[in-house]
Amino acid sequence: MEKHHRFSLWYVLIAIWGVLLLNNFIVTTYGPKNLPYSEFLKKLQAGDITEVSITGDVIEGTMKVPDAATKEPKDEEFVTRRVAQDLSNELAKYNVHFRAQPESTFLRDILSWIIPIMIFFGIWYFLMQRLNPGAGVMAFGKNKARVYAEKDLSTRFADVAGCDEAKAELVEIVDYLKTPDRFRRLGGEMPKGVLLIGPPGTGKTLLARAVAGEAGVPFFSISGSEFVEMFVGVGAARVRELFVQAKEKAPCIIFIDELDAIGKSRAGAIVGGHDEREQTLNQLLVEMDGFDPRVGVIIMAATNRPETLDPALLRAGRFDRQVLVDKPDVAGREAILRVHAAKVILGPEVDLSVIARKTPGFSGADLANAINEAALLAARKDKDAVGMADLEEAVDRIMGGLEKKNRVINPKEKQVVAYHEAGHAVVATFTPGADEVHKISIVPRGIGALGWTQQLPTEDRYLMSQTELLGKIDVLLGGRGAERLIFGDISTGAHNDLQRATDIARAMVAEYGMGRTLGPATFPRQNRPVFLGAEQSGLAGREYSEATAAKLDAEIKEILEASQERVAELLADKKELLENIAQTLLETETIDEARFKALVEAAGGGPKV
C-alpha cells in the first residue's frame, strides 16, 4: 500500500540549516583565508600583499606566504574588512596593484524584498486553496458542477429498484439521447426538463445517474445551494457557465439536486428587491428558454418540496415533465433489499420478503441502511454471515432507536412501563381497524422511549377509513388506560400518545370531513409539505373564526373522551390478559409475535369486536 507522508514545516527548517552548515564548511575549507585587518596592514608594510580588489568595505586579494614544503613564498587568497577610510595612498606607497569594484545590491534586494514578497504570496495562495480547494480568487463565478464522463458512470437501471414506473418514464429520455433521429423524423421534440419529485431517500439522484449511464453521455451534477454565494451575481454567472459547458459536451445531462434551494416561488419576495437567489432563478429560466432542444442537452432536477417551486419553472417548455419517485411498495422493497443484499453475505435462513413486509413506509435509503446495520451487527458478533435476527434487529433500531439496556430503571417505573405497553397491545388486538401487534418491549430505546409496542400492517395501505382512524386513537390511549386501571393513577409516559391521538382527531374533524362541526367542509393546515411529515414543516395556519375553533376543540375533546371510555371498558374486560402480558414483559423484557399470540390464545383469544 502506498504511504502518504504529510508535509511539515520542520522539513524546510532542517533543510535550510543543512544548507547553511554546508556553505560554512565550503567557505571555511576551500574559500579565501579570512585575514584580520591588523594582519593585513602588517603584511602590507612588509610587502607581502601583491594584489587587492576593494568592494565597499570588503578587501579581497592575494598575498605571499611561505610554503611549508619548499620554504619558498607562494600566493594565497585572502579576504578582510577595511577599518580605515583611505587606503589608496598606503597601497600606492608599497607598489600594490589595486582596483575598486562597484558594490552589487542585487543579492541584498532579493533577500530584503523579493523573497518576503514571494513568501507572502505563497501563504496567501495556500490559504485560498484551503478555503476554496481547486479554485482561485477569481473563480467565484465558475460553476461547481461535477462532470462525470461516460466511462465514469457505472450506474444502470438494473441498480435502481422499487420505482418501475419512474424508470419507464425515463427510458424515453435514454432512447432520445441514443437515437434522436427516430423522434425528430416525425417532428417531435424531447422535453427540455425532467423534474424528479418524491420523498427524501427514494432514489431520485440515483435515477438521474442511471439515465446518464444508460445513455452513455456526460453527466453534470450540481446542488442547487452551490449556485448561491455571498457575492451578488455569482449564482447567475455560474448558471451561464454551466450551460455553456453543457452545450460544448452535448449530448449530455445537467442534473440539479435540491432544486428548491434556488427555485423557490417569487410570490412572497419584496417588490424591487435584488435577492441573489432570485437573480439565479431568473438566469436559470432564461437559459432553459434560450437553448435549442435539438442540441441534446437534457436538464434533470430533483426536489422533495415541489409545492415551493416557482410556477415559471413548471410551465410547459421548462420542467414540463414531472416524474414521481414515491416510496416503494412491498414488492419494490423486496427488490431494493435484494440489490443491497448482494453486497453482503447472507445466511441461508434469511427471507428478504419477510423483512419487506415488516418495513412499510421505508424508503430506499432506509432499506440500504437496514442492510448495512445488519452487516455491522453481524460483524460485531464475529459471525460468518448476516442472519435473520441481525436484519430484524437492524429494522428495530431504525424504527425505534438504539437499545439502552444499561439504563437503570427502578422497579416501580419498570412495572408502570410494562402495564403501559401491555395496554397498547391488548387494545390493538381487540379493536377493529387496528394493525397487528408484532413485538412488545420494555427495553428503553432512542432518546426518551421507555418501551415500545411495534405494530405492522398486514399489507400496504393508501386509504384509511373513519373506523381505522378511531382504532388508532384507541390504541394510543390504551397505555394510559392500563395505568389508570391497574394503579389508579396516570404518568407522563403517555405524553407522545396523547399528542398523536389529538392530531388524528383534529385531522378527522378539520381536514377529512369526518366531524359534525364542519361537515363536508375542510380547513387543512396551510403550507403543508407534500412529501415531508407535518413535524418537519413547523407551519400551521387556520382560516376559520374563533367561534368555529371553539366548536372544533369541543368536538375533538368529545372524540378523545369517547375513545377513553371504550378503552377503559375493553381493558377492564381483558384485565387477566393484561396482567399476563405485563408479568411476562417484566420477566423477559421482550415478547415477539408468536409468544404474544400464544398468550392471547391462552386467555381465550377471540376476534376483534
Q: What is the CATH number of the domain that holds 188?
A: 3.40.50.300
566: pLDDT strictly greater than 90: yes
Instruction: Judge whether 201 is annotated as a binding position.
Output: yes
Flag whether 43 is in a domain.
yes
Task: Report how far Cα 190 is from the mean position of its chain's Cα atoms.
Answer: 33
Share of the chain above pLDDT 70, in %: 73
Q: Judge if 455 and 507 occupy the same domain.
A: yes
Q: Judge if 308 and 212 occupy the same domain.
A: yes
How far apart CA 117 and CA 317 sit, in angstroms, is: 55
Among 303, 324, 345, the domain boundary falls at: 324
What local confidence, expressed as pLDDT, does residue 290 receive? 66
Task: Over range 87-101, report the average pLDDT.
Answer: 63
Q: Judge if 226 and 78 occupy the same domain.
A: no
Q: Judge if 391 and 312 occupy the same domain.
A: no
Task: Over range 364-391, report the average pLDDT.
Answer: 90
Catalytic residues: 421
413: pLDDT strictly greater than 80: yes
Place of cell 514571494: 118
Residue 426: pLDDT band (50, 70, 90) is very high
Flag whether 3 is in a domain.
no
What local confidence, expressed as pLDDT, does residue 244 receive? 84
Instruction: Judge whether 420 is annotated as a binding position.
Output: yes
Task: Over range 448-472, report the average pLDDT.
Answer: 80
Residue 141: pLDDT band (50, 70, 90) is very low
Among 399, 426, 455, the domain boundary falls at: 399
Residue 150: pLDDT band (50, 70, 90) is low
DSSP-assigned letters across all residues of 91-106: HHHTT-EEEE-PPP-H
C-alpha cell at 569: 371498558
145: pLDDT strictly greater than 90: no
Are residues 445 and 402 in contact, defined by beta-carbon separation less than 8 angstroms? yes
Which sign, positive or negative, has the C-alpha torsion 253, 254, 259, 263? Answer: negative
291 CB-contact burial (10 Å; exposed 0-12 / middle 13-18 / buried 19+): middle
Q: Judge if 208 and 309 occupy the same domain.
A: yes
Are residues 332 and 161 in contact, defined by beta-carbon separation less than 8 angstroms? yes
133: pLDDT strictly greater than 50: no
60: pLDDT strictly greater than 90: no
What local confidence, expressed as pLDDT, does residue 463 receive? 81
Mark out the alpha helices in 158-275 (DSSP H runs). 164-178, 181-184, 204-215, 234-248
Among 344, 374, 399, the domain boundary falls at: 399
What local confidence, expressed as pLDDT, does residue 29 receive? 60
Flag whether 1 is in a domain.
no
Of the spans 13-27, 109-123, 145-159, 579-593, which averages the highest pLDDT? 579-593
For 528-549, how does the pLDDT look when each residue is reduced to its tens digit (9 = 90+)? Answer: 566 665 544 444 456 677 888 8
Among 189-198, 337-346, 474-483, which stretch is predicted with the lowest mean pLDDT? 189-198
What local confidence, expressed as pLDDT, does residue 80 receive? 67
What local confidence, expressed as pLDDT, does residue 272 receive? 45
Q: Judge if 351 and 298 occupy the same domain.
A: no
Place of cell 424528479: 196
Q: Judge if 164 and 83 occupy the same domain.
A: no
C-alpha cell at 440: 412488545
What local confidence, expressed as pLDDT, does residue 289 receive? 78
Instruction: Judge whether 5 is annotated as a binding position.
Output: no
For residue 421, the enclosing domain spans: 411-602
Q: Judge if 338 and 428 occupy the same domain.
A: no
What local confidence, expressed as pLDDT, does residue 396 receive? 83
Task: Over range 336-347, report the average pLDDT.
Answer: 89
Instruction: Judge whether 55 is annotated as a binding position.
Output: no
Q: Judge if 545 and 438 occupy the same domain.
A: yes
CATH number, domain of 477, equals 1.20.58.760
Amino acid of residue 446:
G
Amino acid of residue 347:
G
Instruction: Judge whether 199 is annotated as a binding position.
Output: yes
Flag whether 566 is in a domain.
yes
How far apart CA 467 and CA 55 sit, in angstroms, is: 108
Task: Over range 151-161, report the average pLDDT.
Answer: 77
Q: How far apart are the first and last CA of the chain?
A: 68
What local confidence, expressed as pLDDT, does residue 30 receive? 58
477: pLDDT strictly greater than 90: yes
CATH number, domain of 381, equals 1.10.8.60
Residue 420: pLDDT band (50, 70, 90) is very high
Instruction: Judge whether 495 is annotated as a binding position.
Output: no
Task: Over range 409-425, report the average pLDDT.
Answer: 88
Regarding predicted confidence, which is higher, 203 or 542?
203
For 216-247, how does the pLDDT look when each residue is reduced to its tens digit (9 = 90+)? Answer: 888 888 888 777 765 556 777 888 888 888 88
What local confidence, expressed as pLDDT, does residue 5 receive? 47
2: pLDDT strictly greater than 50: no
Cα Rg, the chain, nearest whole Å = 41
Instruction: Judge whether 200 is annotated as a binding position.
Output: yes
What local confidence, expressed as pLDDT, does residue 313 receive? 86
Among 11-15, 47-51, 437-441, 524-528, which stretch is predicted with the lowest mean pLDDT? 524-528
Flag whether 2 is in a domain.
no
For 428-455, how does the pLDDT look when each residue is reduced to its tens digit (9 = 90+)? Answer: 999 888 888 888 888 887 666 788 888 8
Task: Report how far Cα 53 is from the mean position of its chain's Cα atoms.
Answer: 72
Are residues 241 and 276 in contact, defined by beta-carbon separation less than 8 angstroms? no
Task: Over range 522-532, report the average pLDDT.
Answer: 65
38: pLDDT strictly greater than 60: yes
How far apart CA 420 and CA 498 sit, in angstroms, is: 13
Q: Judge if 208 and 341 occupy the same domain.
A: no
Instruction: Judge whether 481 is annotated as a binding position.
Output: no
Per the document, the length of the chain is 609
49: pLDDT strictly greater than 50: yes
Amino acid of residue 109:
D
Flag whether 164 is in a domain.
yes
Place of cell 442547487: 224
C-alpha cell at 161: 429498484
Among 7-16, 203-212, 369-378, 383-392, which stretch is predicted with the lowest mean pLDDT? 7-16
Distances (CA, A) of 73 to 46, 49, 247: 13, 12, 84
> Is the preceding omega at residue 251 within 30 degrees of 0, hence cis?
yes
Instruction: Judge whether 453 is annotated as a binding position.
Output: no
Beta bridge partners of residue 574, listed in sequence order: none
CATH number, domain of 21, equals 3.30.720.210
CA 188-192-196 angle, to 5 degrees, is 120
473: pLDDT strictly greater than 90: yes
Amino acid of residue 178:
K
Task: Over range 259-268, report the average pLDDT.
Answer: 78
82: pLDDT strictly greater than 80: no
Residues 6+ apart with CB under 8 A from 223: 256, 257, 258, 261
What local confidence, expressed as pLDDT, does residue 87 receive? 65
Q: Is 437 helix (H, G, I), strand (E, B) or coil?
A: strand
89: pLDDT strictly greater than 70: no
Are residues 489 and 582 in contact, defined by beta-carbon separation less than 8 angstroms? no
Instruction: Judge whether 187 is annotated as a binding position.
Output: no
Q: Judge if 178 and 114 occupy the same domain.
A: no
Residue 138: pLDDT band (50, 70, 90) is very low
Please, how many CA atoms are within 13 Å of residue 356, restricted to the half-sphere of its CB?
21
- Per-residue HEC secondary structure of 540-605 comes to CCCCCCHHHHHHHHHHHHHHHHHHHHHHHHHHHHCHHHHHHHHHHHHHHCEEEHHHHHHHHHHCCC
Please, how many CA atoms are within 13 Å of residue 178, restricted to the half-sphere of its CB?
12
Flag whether 483 is in a domain.
yes
Residues 6+ apart with CB under 8 A from 107: none
Task: Over range 544-566, report the average pLDDT.
Answer: 89
Residue 139: pLDDT band (50, 70, 90) is very low
Instruction: Judge whether 553 is annotated as a binding position.
Output: no
Are residues 474 and 429 in contact, defined by beta-carbon separation less than 8 angstroms? no
Among 31-45, 77-91, 97-111, 312-326, which stretch is predicted with the lowest mean pLDDT? 97-111
Task: Over range 146-156, report the average pLDDT.
Answer: 69
Regarding predicted confidence, which is higher, 530 or 351?
351
Regarding predicted confidence, which is higher, 235 or 384?
384
Are residues 23 and 69 in contact, defined by beta-carbon separation less than 8 angstroms? no
Q: Judge if 368 and 246 occupy the same domain.
A: no
Q: What is the mean pLDDT of the chain?
A: 78
The tally of domains found in the chain comes to 5
Flag whether 404 is in a domain.
no
